[in-house]
Amino acid sequence: MRIHHDSSRVASMTSGWRLKGAMTLGLLLILCTSIPWSWAEEVGVTDKTIRVGAYMPLEGDNNLNALALKRGIEAALASQLVQGRRVEYAVINDFYDPAKSVEATNKLIDQGIFLMLGGYGSAAMKAVLPVLADKKIPAVGFYTGAAFAGPGDVLNFRARYATEVESAINAALAAGVKPGEVCAYAQNDAYGMSGINGLRMALAKLPGTESIVAKLQQILDTPGDNPERNNIGPVGVYQWDTMNARNGYVSLKQWEAASGHRCRLVMISAVYTPAANFVAYARYKGETWIFSTLSILGSNQMKDLLQEQGITNKVITTQIVPPLDSTLPVVVEARKALGNQLSYVSLEGYIVGKLFVVIASAIDGPLTRENFLKAARRQPYDIGGVKVDFTAGNQGSNFVLLTHLKDGDFVPVRPGDLESLFKP
């Protein structure tokens, strides 16, 4: 009888365990169904938030553009939900110092981020990309046109600096400037040389420019961090983080004397204060050169620096976003969100922020970096009238708008403007 009693007890206990196991399994299935993908999500993603980050020079000479970029991205992310989650944007000041950019990036990684959105500067990006690649963290919409393709996963929104330079040069050539009359002033680093490469690419497509193109190639091929690139061709350079405009100016004057050509268009691939100093120095020396700058100089900061030197015209600037008075939906939306703080830089930030939200919302499956990249590359996207396409590579847009400084403001170039500007 005792044995019969123990067997019943064991059977009863086994039945209970089976019931509890079935209930546990059922509960797990219910949880997995009610919280889709929660078990597979990435670092930086919770059931309520997606955290993205950036380094930017929030203090110093470049802080006005950095703050405008940050303001635009934040405006685009405000009140946006991705799969029911709000987007948190963490920005750390790097003081425009690549070493501090790496420190800031490591700090953001330690805090947990899904990806980097809108980092600032070419030198900083070059230093940071290996760190991001090691952690498999995508870099999206960085504020540089140096066209980095890696290491790691890079999605560039803005047009290449070379594309900007080529657009401005082609417009000048169409207005009557000869290839030998195009010169350049550049920062003596990867950023500055990306502009020189744009000049080389533009001139290489034209007949009779072989000797000039060879000089430009020699300048580009000169090795080192700060090599001697002056007095070789139609280019003057200055060292990063210096203000000396004289050496670059002398290099251009020597080119004029040696080549028999005068510089009519001087393409500038520099940062704010050195660029403004060079324009002012050339004007002080009595030069009638027309200057062309890249989009990172097409801001209120550059305009103010030039005005301080009494310069209110004869400067062409490329932009990589539509005109601020455009009727495109994304520009109208940005004007409403940013008000009197709308600028070409804050508009770029707004578009980059919207781009992230649109791609992240198009993810099929869990919110992972891999799925984000798949969604980015799966199809072109229309960001309120701005076309962005990563299906053929990591360059999302090649849009370039020409503006020029007229009575102290950068305004879009209209038909006939450049012909008048270059009139002898």
**Residue pLDDT, tens place only, 308-362:** 999 999 999 999 999 999 999 999 999 999 999 999 999 999 999 999 999 999 9
Q: Give the percent of the chain with pLDDT over 90.
A: 77
Cβ count near 424 (within 10 Å): 5
Residue 132 lies in a domain: yes
356 & 408 share domain: no
204 & 250 share domain: yes
280 & 415 share domain: yes
| Per-residue pLDDT reduced to its tens digit, 41-52 | 689 999 999 999
| Segment (H or E) for 376 | helix 369-378
Residue 26 lies in a domain: no
Which residues span the domain enclosing 336? 49-159+325-388
Is residue 229 within 8 A of residue 219, CB to CB? The reply is: yes
Number of domains in the chain: 2
179 & 307 share domain: yes
Please list the ranges in the chain whose pLDDT falls under 50: 1-40
Cβ burial, residue 20 (10 Å; 0-12/13-18/19+)? exposed
102 & 242 share domain: no
Cβ count near 278 (within 10 Å): 24
CATH number at residue 136: 3.40.50.2300
pLDDT of residue 260: 94
pLDDT of residue 22: 46
Cβ count near 258 (within 10 Å): 11
Is residue 395 within 8 A of residue 156, CB to CB? The reply is: yes
Residue 361 lies in a domain: yes
Distance CA 233, CA 204 (A): 15
pLDDT of residue 23: 46
What six digits make up the tokens of 124? 């900083």
Enter the pTM of the model: 0.85
List 184's β-bridge partners, or say none. 235, 267
213 & 252 share domain: yes
Residue identified by tokens 């999302």 is 396
Strand ranges (E), 62-153: 81-82, 85-93, 116-117, 139-140
Mention every residue, 6+ apart, whose C-beta is less than 8 A from residue 400.
159, 163, 164, 167, 318, 319, 320
What six digits make up the tokens of 290? 């027309």
For every residue of 228-277, DSSP letters joined together read --TTSSSEEEE-TT----HHHHHHHHHHHHHHSPPPSEEEEE--HHHHHH
Residue identified by tokens 């290099």 is 251
Cβ burial, residue 335 (10 Å; 0-12/13-18/19+)? middle
Cβ burial, residue 276 (10 Å; 0-12/13-18/19+)? buried
205 & 310 share domain: yes
Distance CA 149, CA 155 (A): 8
pLDDT of residue 27: 44
279 & 332 share domain: no
For every residue of 15-55, DSSP letters joined together read HHHHHHHHHHHHHHHHHHHHSTTGGGPPTTB-SSEEEEEEE
pLDDT of residue 303: 87
pLDDT of residue 218: 97
| Segment (H or E) for 74 | helix 63-77
